[in-house]
Structure 1
Amino acid sequence: MRILAFLQFVLLLIDHTSSVSRPGCHCEQTSCYCSKLNLESVPAAPSQLITQLDLSFNRLKKITENDFVAFVSLRSLILNNNRIETIHDKAFVPLTNLEKLDLSLNRLDTLSAGWFENLFSLQSLNLLGNKYKSLGQGNLFQPLKSLKTLHFGGPHLQSVREADFSGLRGLEEVVFDGKNLRVYTEGSLRQIGPIKNATLGLNDTRFFLTHFGSIGWISRIDHLEAVVFKNVNVPQFYKFPALFFLQPLLSVVRKVSVLNCKLFLLPCQSSVDFAKLEFMDISDNLLTDLALSEMMCYGKGGLWSLQTFNVSRNQLHTINSQLFTKLDKLENIDMSGNVFHRMPETCFWPPSLRFLNLSATHLREVTTCLPMSLHILDLSDNDLTVFNIELPFLTELHISGNRIRSLPDGGLYPRLSYLFIQNNDLQWFSGNHLNMFNNLKSLEAGADTFHCSCDFIAFMRSGWKNHQVTFGDSKSYICDSPDALRGKSAADARLSVFECHTALAFSVLFLGILLVLALVAGLCHRFSVVWYVRMTWAWLRAKRKPKLKKGELQYDAFVSYSEMDSGWVEAHLIPELEQTEPRLRLCLHQRDFVPGAWILDNIMDAIEKSHRTLFVLSQHFVRSEWCKYELDYTHFRLFDQNDDSVVLILLEPIDKETIPKKFCKLRRVMNSRTYLEWPDEDHLVPRFWNSLKTAIKRPEADNGDILQFEEL
C-alpha cells in the first residue's frame, strides 16, 4: 500500500511539474512561444527538444544561474521588452549552441563579460535600449568569435572606449545608438575591423565629426553601400567639415541620401569625386536652380555612374534637362514637389532615362520636353487639363489629381499597361475609349464624380468583364448626375428603360397606347358603350329643356323611316294621315328638319315636339344609320319616361333578332305589345288606317292613358 501511495504521489508531482513547465506557452516541434504571458520567471523546459524560445514582453526581473540548464539545445533566445535588471554571470553557460541572443529594451545598468564566456556560436547580439552608461570593464565581446551582428547603445550610453570592441572581427552589421554619447576614445571602432553595414544614430553631428572624422578605419574602406544623413541640423554651416571628412568615402560609396538636412549647396569639385555613386537622394532640402547647376557641374561632367537622382521638394523653378544630358546611365529622375509652373518646349534628356517624376510641380500644361524614352511618367497633382503627348515606350502613367476631362488618346501610348487618373474632372468613359489602348491592364479612375449615363452604368456593371482591364474599387466611381443617382456608386446605380432607350420606349409606349385604344374601342363596340354615351349626352341635353305639354306639341307624330321606304311613305302614309279626316300633322325629316342644324339636334327636337314617334320598320330601316339614331333616342326616352310614345309599323316581316340587342326596351315592346302590320290584302287596309289614326291622334284630355292595339 505504501508503494502504491508513493507512486500516486510521484504521478501527481510529475503532472504538477508538467503543468507548471509551460504556463500558457505555445510549443510546436522545436519552438516555444511564451511571449506576452506576464511571466515573472523562466518556465521549465518542456519534454521535447527546443531550439527557439521566445520570452519577450513579459515581467522577468532577473535571470538566475539555473534558468537555462535544461535548454542546452537552444539556438535562439529572445528576452527583449522585459524588466530584467540582473543576469547571473553563469546564466548562459549551458547555451553553447546559442546563435541569437536579444536582451534589448530591458533595465540592465551594467554589462558583464561573464555572460558571453561560453557563447562560442553566437552570431547575433542585441543590447539596445538598456540603462548601461558604458560597455562594462573592457573586453566585453572578446569570446564572441562568431559574432556577425551587433546592436548596442541607447539613451543612457555616455562613453565608448578603445578596449570595448577588442576581439571583434569581420562583423557584417553594426547598429550603434549614441544619441547621448559624450565621450569617445579615438580609434575605438578601429578594433571592430571591416564592417559591411553600419548604422550610427547621433543627435549632434558636430560631435560625430569631431570625434569620428579622423578615425583610420574610414580611410581603409574599399566598398561602402550607402550613407544616409537624415534630419541633420548644422546651424554654423560654414564650419561644417563634412565634405573634407567624407573625402575618403566619396570615391567608393554607391548610395547617398541627405534628407531634410537644409542642404543648399554641393560644389562641383565634390560631385566629381563620386566616382561610383549610383543612387543620390537629396530631397527636402534648400537647393535652388543655381545650386543644382553647380552640383551637376553645369552639365559638363561628374556623377558618371549615377542611375537614380532624387531632388524632390527643393526650391527649383526651372526644368533644366541639359544638366543630365551627358549622364548616359541615368534612368530615374524625381523632381516632384518643386515649383515649375511650366516646362520648356524642347529638352535634352539622356537617352537612358526611363522614369520621370514631375508630380506636384504646379504645371499647367505639358510639352514635347518630355523624353520619348520614358517607361514611367508621374504628373500627378498638377493643373493639367489635357494630356496628349506621344510617348511610344510608356508603360505606366500617373496623371491623378489634375483637371483632365477625358481619357488620353490610347493611340499615343501603344505599350501603356497602367493608367492612374483618379481625382480629375472625368465625366464618363466607355469601352470605345479603352479599345484604343492595346495593352492596358489596369485603370484607376475612381474618386471622381461621373455623369452616370445609361452607357456608362452599363459599362460599369458589365463592361470591365468584357475587357482584360482591372478598374480598382468599383465603389469609388461616384455618380454626380442625374440628380436621382447623385452620391451613389456607378456599380450600384440603376436607370429605367425610358431613360436609357427613349426612342424605343416611346415607340413601345405609343404602340401600347394604340393597342389599348383598339381594345377599348372593341370593348365599347361589343358592349355598346358609345351608344350609352351618346344617349346619356342626349338625355342630359333634353333634361335641360322644359318638357312640352301635350297641348303645346306641334306634331301628332314624328315619322322615322328609311330613304328606301320613302315611296310607301309618300304614296300611302302622308296622303292618308294628312289629307283625310281627321287630319293629322306629321313631322318628316325631308320637309320639317331645320336646314344647317346638326342632324341629331333635329331628330331630338322632332321627337320632343311630337305626340308619337312612328317607326316604319323594314329591312331597310334596320340597316339605316340615321334610323338607328332615331331609334336610339326614342329608346332612351322610353327608358327614361316609361310612356307609350312609340308606334311601330311593320311594312314587311322582320325577325326580331335582327334588331340590335342594345335596343332592349324596344325589343321588349315588340315582344309584349301589339304593333301595326301593313296588310297584304286590300280589304284590310281601311282598318289599318283607322287603327293607326287612333294610335297617333292626340286625345282632348292629357290623362296619360296608354293605348293598346290588337294584332291585325
Structure 2
Amino acid sequence: MAKARRPVTRNVCTVFIFITAFWNNIQSTEETGFSAVYSDRFLNQVPKNLPAEATVLDLSHNNISQLQISDFSYILRLQVLNLSHNVIQELNFSVFQYNENLEHLDLSHNVLQTLSCHLALSLRHLNLAYNNYTDMLMCPAIDMPKLQYLGLGAKRIQGSDFSALTNLQLDTLFLSLEDLSEYRPKSIPVFNMKTIQIVFHPHRDFRILSDLELNATESLELCNIHDEQVSELKMFLLKLSRRGRLLNLTLNNMRCSWDEFISILQAAWETTVEHLVISNATWMDATNANNFNYTKTSLKTLVIKQTIITSIKSDPQHMYRIFSNMNVTALTVSGAKLIHMLCPSNPSQFTYLCFSDNILTDAVFKNCNNLALLETLILSVNQLTSLIKMSLMTSCMMSLKHLDMSQNLLQYEAQEKGCHWGENLAELNLSSNLLSHSVFHCLPVNIQKLDLQNNLIASIPKETVELRALEELNLAFNRLSDLPGCGQFRSLRLLNTEMNSIVAPSPEFYRTCQNIREVKAEHNPFRCSCEIREFVDLSKQGLMVLVGWPESYLCEYPEDVRGIQLEEFHVSELVCNTTLLVAVVLVITVVFVAVVCGLCIYLDIPWYLKMIWQWTQVKHRIWKNKPEDVLDHLEFHAFISYSEHDSDWVKNVLIPNLEKEDGSIQICQHERNFIAGKSIVENIIDCIEKSYRSIFVLSPNFVQSEWCHYELYFAHHKLFQENANNLILLVLEPIPPYIIPTKYYKLKALMAKRTYMEWPAEKSKQGLFWANLRAAIQIRLPEKLIHFE
C-alpha cells in the first residue's frame, strides 16, 4: 500500500526557483523531443505503457513509492525526468543505468531517507531538496562530473556535510534550510559556485549568514529573511563590502520595517552588487524621514516588486524622494501601491523606470525636466486617465524611446487639442485602455511600434496624421469591422487585427498595404465572398505572411459555409469578375441576337408575325363592331381595284381563293358588276359605296393606271368621310418609291401610314395570306342582298 503523500511546501521562494530551473533545462529539449505528462494522475507506480520515444517525462504529484530498472530501461532517449512530489523512500541510481542521455532529474518533495550514488551518471541537474534527510548527504562522494545544478536539504548541518561537493564544478547550488533544526557553527565552507540559492527557516536564526563566505559567487538568492536574520543580513552585507565578486543579489520574502529596509538598502549600496532585487517584502511602513547616501555605489539596477510600501505617520514626500534621487540607471518599483512619484531633484541618471501595478495618477512626473536620459518608462496597471496629459509628461523626456501605459483608464476626446509627445518616442503601448478611434489624432508622429490592442477602436479615421515611421501596429481585440488600409502608415510591416469583427478586408487594404510583410488576423468572423479571394491569394502567392494560416481563418458568413477554412473556399471567377461577366453576357447576347436574326431571315418569321398581327387586328375590329353597325345598303364584301396588266392574277388567283363555293364572300369586279349605261366614274363610286372593303392590288402597273388613281381617290374619300377602315392595300409586286408619280401622293401617304399585305411567292405562306385576307373582308351582309352565282 502506498504511503501517505508528504505535504507539499507552498513557499513562494521554492516555487519560483524550481519552476525557473525546470523550464530553463527542458526548453531546448522540447524543441526537438517528445514530452509525456502524467502529473496529478493518482499513480501508485510508474506506468508500464510509457512512450518509448519520450525525451521529457513528468510523473510529479502522484503517489509513486518505488522505482525499478524496468520502469525506464526502454526509454533510451529520456533526457528530463520529474519525479517531484511523490512518496519515494529509497533510491538507487542504478535504476537509470540504461538512460545514458538523462540530464535533468528532479526528486524534490519526496520522503527519501537512503540514497545510493555509486553509479556514474551524465546528469547536469539534480534536485534532492525537501526530503527526509537528517544529514545533508548520504553519499560520501557524487560521481557526476557534468553536474551543474544541485539542490539539497537537511534537518542537520555538521562540519563534514559539504565534503562531497569539493570535487564538483557546480554552477548553481540550492540549499533548502526550511526544516533545519540543528546547525553547528562554522559548518558552511567557502563556496565556489557562481550562483547560490538559500531558503532559510522563517522563524529560526542559526546565524548561517555570519558563516557564509563567498569566493567566486556572482549571484546570491536569499529567501525568508525574518526577525533576527534581518540584522544578520545587514552585517553580512557590511562584511561583504567591496571584497567579493557578488554582482546579483535577490532578497525574497523579507519581513522588516521601513528603517530596516533602508539600512539594508544602504548596506547593499556600498557593495560590489550591481543588480539588487527585493520581492514579496512586508511590514514596509514608512514612518520617518531617512537620510540616504547615494555616493560610492556599484549598483546599476534596483528592483522592488510585490512589496507594499505605505506611509502613515510621516510625509510621503520623504519616501518618494529616496527613490526619485537614486543614482542608478534602472529602477523598478512595482506592486507597491504607490500613489505618486516625484521628479528627481537634479538631472537624473535613470535610463529605465518601471512603476507598474501601482495606483499612480495623471500627476506623475508632471513638468519634470530632470529625466533627459530616460529611454524606457513603464507605467502599466495604474490609474492614468488623460492621454493628452501623458503626452505632455513625455514632452520633456528628450531621450524617451519606449513608453508602456497599458492597462490603465486612458481616454482621448476628438475635440481635445495639444498632444505633444517626446520627439524620439519609438515604441508606445496603449493596450487595455478606454481609447476609441479618436486616439489616432493624438499619436507621436515618429512612432515605430504602436500597441492599441484591447480598446474600443471601431475604425481608423481617414484624416489621421500620417505616421511615416510606423512599422508595427497592434489592433487586436478591438471592434474593427474590416481590415483597415495603410494610407497613413506607408512603412507598416506588421499588422495585428486578431479577435475583432472583421468580415472582409477593405478596398484600401489591397491598394495601400503593399509593403506589409506579416498580418495577424486570426479569429475574425470572415464573410466568404468574392472580396475574400484576393486576401487568400496574398498568402498563396507569398506576398505576405498570414500568422496562424490556415487553421485560424474560418468563414462565418454566409451560413452555408460557416466553419470552412478560407483556404478551402472557392467561387467562380466569372461570378467575381464584373468585367468578365459583362463581356460574357454581351457576347452571349450578341450571339443570341445574331442566331435569332439569322433564323428570322431564314424562316421569314417577320412576315409571319406581320400577317398574324394583321389577322389579330382585323378580328379585334370585327369583335368591336356590333350587328346594328352593318349598313343595309352593302351588297359586296370587297371591291377590287387593279391594273389590267394584273388581271390574270386577280381573275385566276385572287377571286377564286376569296369566293369559295359556299358563296360566303361576294366580290365586286368592274367587268361583271359595272352597270351598263352609267359612266365609269358613277360605276366606281357606286361599287365602292356598296362594298364593305376596297382591295387595291398594288404593283408597278397599278401606279400607271389612270382609273386606278380615281378608284383610290374615291375610296380614300370614303375613308375620311365615314371614319372607317375600309382600305386594304395588297402589294402584288414591290413598288420602288421613285416610280410612283407625284400625283399619287395619297398612295405614298397611305403606304407610309397604313399596314399593307404582301403577296408571298412561297406556297407555304399563301395559306396564312388567304386566311388573313378573308378575315379582313369577312362581314355578315343582309341576307336579302346576298347574290349567288
Deviations 1:272-306 (A, max 9, x none): 7844x3332212332223xx11xx434x245x2x3
Partner of residue 495 from structure 2, selected from 443, 448, 452: 443
Rounded to whole Å, the distance in 2 between the matches of 1:485 and 1:595 is 75
Equivalent residue number for residue 539 of structure 1: 619
Q: Deviations over 1:365-405 (max 9, x none)?
A: 68543111122122233424142567565321223324363
Confirm whether residue 586 of structure 1 aligns to residue 586 of structure 2: no
Aligned equivalents of 1:357 and 1:63: distance in 2?
Answer: 52
Tell me if the contact between 1:51 and 1:76 (Cα under 8 Å) persists in the aligned partners.
Answer: no
Question: Do 1:446 and 1:477's aligned partners in 2 also have CA atoms closer than 8 Å?
Answer: no
Q: 5 Å matches for 1:542-561?
A: 542-543=622-623, 554-559=634-639, 561=641
- Compared with structure 1, are the counterparts of its residues 622 and 486 closer, same or farther at alpha carbon in structure 2 (3 Å cutoff)? farther
Distance 1:420 1:119, change over 3 A: same
Following TM superposition, by how much is the alpha carbon of 1:190 offset from its aligned partner in structure 2, in angstroms? 3.3
Whole-angstrom CA distance in 2 between matches of 1:421 and 1:66: 54
Measure, in 2, the Cα distance between the counterparts of 1:556 and 1:72.
127
Supply the AA of the counterpart residue of 2:354: N
1:602 aligns to 2:725 (yes or no):
yes
Aligned to 2:306: 260
What one-letter code is carried by the residue in structure 2 that aligns with 1:261?
A: T
For the residues of structure 2 that align with 1:378 and 1:138, how far apart are their CA atoms?
Answer: 55
| In structure 1, distance between residues paired with 2:570 and 2:130 | 58
Change beyond 3 A, Cα 1:481–1:124:
closer
Which residue of the partner structure matches residue 117 of structure 2?
Answer: 92
Matched, 1:406 2:460: yes
**AA aligned opposite 1:193:** L
Partner of residue 619 from structure 1, selected from 733, 738, 741: 733
Answer with 251-260 or 511-520: which moved more.
Answer: 511-520
Separation in structure 2 between the aligned mates of residue 258 and residue 117 of structure 1, nearest angstrom: 40
CA contact (8 A) 2:554 2:563 kept: yes
The structure-2 alpha-carbon separation of the partners of 1:515 and 1:406, relative to structure 1 and needing over 3 Å to count, comes to farther
Give the aligned partner of residue 663 of structure 1.
Answer: 766
Separation in 2, partners of 1:287, 1:326: 20
Could you tell me whether the CA contact under 8 Å between 2:635 and 2:781 is conserved in 1? no
Cα distance in 2 for residues equivalent to 1:51 and 1:485: 46
User: What is the match of residue 291 of structure 2?
Assistant: none
- 1:524 touches 1:530 (CA, 8 Å); kept in 2? no
SS of aligned partner of 2:212: helix
Match of 2:476 in 1: 422
SS at match of 1:248: helix
- Which residue of the partner structure matches residue 264 of structure 2? 245
Q: Distance in 2 between matches of 1:578 and 1:470?
A: 102
Q: CA deviation at 1:355?
A: 0.7
Distance of 1:411 and 1:110 partners within structure 2: 71
Q: 1:375 aligned to 2:426?
A: yes
Distance in 2 between residues matched to 1:324 and 1:224, nearest whole Å: 35
Looking at structure 1, the residues matched to 334 and 430 of structure 2 have their Cα atoms a distance apart, in angstroms, of 18
Q: SS of the counterpart of 1:151?
A: strand
Of 40, 45, 51, the residue aligned with 2:66 is 40
Describe the shift of the 1:341–1:669 C-alpha distance in structure 2 as closer, same or farther (beyond 3 A). Answer: closer
Unaligned ranges ≥5, structure 2: 1-47, 270-296, 311-315, 509-530, 651-667, 678-682, 695-714, 738-749, 774-779
Q: Is the 8 A contact 2:469 2:491 kept in 1?
A: yes
The whole-number CA distance in structure 2 between the counterparts of 1:332 and 1:139 is 50
Q: Which runs of 5+ in 1 are unaligned?
A: 1-22, 608-614, 633-655, 671-695, 708-712
Which residue identity lines up with residue 554 of structure 1 in the other structure? L
Q: Using the TM superposition, give the Cα deviation of residue 332 of structure 1 relative to its aligned residue in structure 2, in angstroms.
A: 0.6
Q: Secondary structure at the match of 1:184?
A: coil
2-structure distance, mates of 1:580, 1:115: 161
Residue 174 of structure 1 and its aligned partner are, at CA, apart by 2.0
User: 1:479, 1:488 within 8 Å by CA — same for their partners in 2?
Assistant: yes
Map 1:336-375; keep pairs closer than 5 Å: 336-338=380-382, 339-344=384-389, 346=392, 347-359=394-406, 360-364=408-412, 367-375=418-426
Q: Mark the CA change 1:183 to 1:439 in structure 2 (over 3 Å): closer, same or farther.
A: same
- Which amino acid in structure 2 is aligned with residue 337 of structure 1? V
Counterpart residue number, 1:640:
none
Shift of 1:497: 7.9
* CA distance in 2: counterparts of 1:285 and 1:323, whole angstroms: 24
Q: What letter matches 1:309 in structure 2?
A: L
Partner secondary structure for residue 252 of structure 1: coil
Superimposed CA distance per residue, residues 514-544 of structure 1 (whole angstroms, 9 cap, x where no aligned partner): 8867866776673223532453454355456
For 2:299, give the aligned amino acid. V
Q: 100, 110, 123: which is aligned to 2:134?
A: 110
The sequence identity of aligned pairs, in percent, is 11
Post-superposition offset of 1:227: 5.3
Q: Which letter maps to 1:153?
A: S
1:253-289 CA deviation, whole Å, 9 max, x = no partner?
Answer: 33322223223557366447844x3332212332223
Q: Distance between the aligned counterparts of 1:594 and 1:699, measured in 2? A: 28
Distance 2:647 2:124 in 1: 135
Q: 1:499-525 deviations in whole A, cap 9, x for unaligned?
A: 9859x9789879977886786677667
Q: Deviations over 1:218-260 (max 9, x none)?
A: 64365655555778787xx6x5521112211133333322223
For the 8 Å contact 1:227–1:256, the answer to whether it is kept is: no
Alignment correspondent of 2:175 = 152
Instruction: Note closer, same or farther for the CA distance 1:83–1:109 as it changes in structure 2 (3 Å cut).
Output: same
Residue deviations 1:442-466 (CA, integer Å, cap 9, x gap): 1223433357588363663446788
Deviations along 1:606-631, one digit per CA (max 9) or x if unpaired, are 89xxxxxxx98843699996999575
1:167 maps to which of 170, 189, 196: 189
Counterpart of 2:535 in structure 1 is: 460
Provide closer, same or farther for how the CA distance between residues 520 and 135 of structure 1 changes in structure 2, counting only shifts above 3 A: farther
Is the CA contact 1:252–1:274 (under 8 Å) kept in the aligned structure 2? no
**Alignment partner, residue 395 of structure 1:** 448
Query: 2:706 is matched with which residue?
Result: none
Please tell me whether the aligned partners of residues 482 and 506 of structure 2 are also in contact (alpha carbons under 8 angstroms).
no
* Alpha-carbon distance in structure 2 between the residues aligned to 1:256 and 1:698: 129
User: TM-score, normalized by length of structure 1?
Assistant: 0.64
AA in 1 matched with 2:765: K
The alpha-carbon deviation at position 354 of structure 1 amounts to 1.4
Matched letter for residue 593 of structure 1? L
Which deviates the most, 657-666 or 575-584? Answer: 575-584
Alpha carbons 2:94, 2:119 under 8 Å: kept: no
Letter in 2 for 1:334: I
Amino acid across the alignment from 1:307: T
Task: Tell me which amino acid in the other structure corresponds to 1:590.
Answer: H
Say which of 318, 337, 340 aligns to 1:286. Answer: 337
Q: Deviations over 1:281-339 (max 9, x none)?
A: 212332223xx11xx434x245x2x3221112322222655676434542111123332
SS at match of 1:183: coil
Q: Measure how far apart 1:417 and its partner are.
A: 2.0
Q: Tell me, what secondary structure is at the counterpart of 1:371?
A: coil
Q: Distance in 1 between matches of 2:482 and 2:148?
A: 58
Letter in 1 for 2:495: L
Q: 2:379 aligns with which of 317, 331, 335?
A: 335
Cross-structure match for 2:356: 312
Residues 697, 182 of structure 1: CA spacing in aligned structure 2 closer, same or farther, 3 A cutoff?
Answer: closer
Choose 1 or 2 for highest CA Rg. 1
Secondary structure of the structure 1 residue equivalent to 2:191: coil
CA RMSD of aligned residues (A): 5.8
Say whether 1:212 aligns with 2:233.
yes
**Is the 2:220–2:250 contact (alpha carbons within 8 Å) kept by the matching residues of 1?**
no
